[in-house]
Amino acid sequence: MARIGFLNIDSALKKRFFKSVKQGERFVYSKLVKNKSLCSRKKKAKLRNFSLLSNIKNQWSSLDSLQKTAWFSSGEQIGMNGYNLFVQDTSYRIKNNISNLSIPSVLYQYFVGKITISSPVINFHIKQEHPRNYYIFALVDGKKTMQKQVEITEVFTLPLTISLNYRSNFVSVGPNSSAKLYAEIWHAFEGKNLFSILEINLDFVSDWKNAEISLSELSGTIVSYSLHIEIKDLQGELFFDNIKAIHSGQNWAIDSACNDINNSLSQKFYNIKKNWESVDVPVGSKYESVYYNNN
């Protein structure tokens, strides 16, 4: 049975009401929808007053050619247009009352991963798994925030290259001090399950730098692999960005730009794992994505 509703509109508002709505779906769910009209010149002028883009555009225009080239080089590292990266970065600084413009770098952009160990711990360990099939979040076409789950089939072929850019400031607090990024590779050979390690040892104290290592040969058939960041007997902090796990001609690292390394889980998309899962994150340590202010 059809549901019928009505609305009494004040005579003084009828003209404005019917100008702002239009008839939507007529047959399945009969309804009125908002009439998306073009902005008037007056509305556009108001939008410019509230928008950050006008101010950011002027700041971009004030940069010289070398500075603009530096932004394009920085954006290229994460597959982003240099001007768009400038807008994203500068908008964040304005909204959070951070003075001056950021200095673009090819080693990090915008948000970076950060591990903080504020009290001595024996072991800190997070991982990112890469089975053959898994799901990730992706934006719905035409939407800014709506997400959907997308199935990924990751067919592994050697060589494998892992790398990251990082800045560290650690103090040794035990006999087995170490900090490393490594890939643990599960492969089957002659009826046996084998596990091989491809490892990058990180400096305890270092300014931003790149570290990379490759593996070209491995016996048997590769089943899957996982990326790990493990820190032992150290106290301090580690910043990192642009993590890569390159094989089959593609970077397969999830959240390579480190925009949300400790993302929250969703009940709706229960089969999607966190970008980086906690294996051993004791009290006094944490991992998160932060804006890196270099100026």
Distance of alpha carbon 206 from alpha carbon 170, whole angstroms: 9
Give the tokens for residue 170.
């650690």
Q: Tell me, what's the pLDDT at 19?
A: 77
Res. 209: pLDDT tops 60 = yes
For the chain, what are the domain ranges? 9-38, 44-106, 112-291
Res. 263: pLDDT tops 60 = yes
More confident residue, 105 or 144: 105
Distance of alpha carbon 218 from alpha carbon 188, whole angstroms: 10
Give the tokens for residue 260.
């949300």
Q: Tell me, what's the pLDDT at 45?
A: 62
Give the tokens for residue 3.
């549901």
Q: Tell me, what's the pLDDT at 190?
A: 86
Q: Tell me, what's the pLDDT at 28?
A: 59
Res. 1: pLDDT tops 60 = no
Res. 26: pLDDT tops 70 = no
Closest CA to 117 of 165, 169, 175: 169
Q: Tell me, what's the pLDDT at 168?
A: 96
Q: What is the mean pLDDT of the chain?
A: 87
Q: Which residues of 183-195 are buried (b: 16+ CB within 10 A; e: fewer)?
A: bbbbbeeeeeeee
Q: Tell me, what's the pLDDT at 240?
A: 97
Q: Which CATH number is 112-291's, of 1.20.1300, 2.60.40, 2.70.98, 2.60.120?
A: 2.60.120
Res. 42: pLDDT tops 70 = no
More confident residue, 7 or 215: 215
Q: Tell me, what's the pLDDT at 34?
A: 76
- Most confident segment among 97-101, 167-171, 266-270: 167-171
Percent of the chain at pLDDT exceeding 70: 88
The confidence band for 81, taking pLDDT boundaries of 50, 70 and 90, is very high
The confidence band for 134, taking pLDDT boundaries of 50, 70 and 90, is confident
Distance of alpha carbon 3 from alpha carbon 284, whole angstroms: 58
Res. 22: pLDDT tops 80 = no
More confident residue, 226 or 43: 226
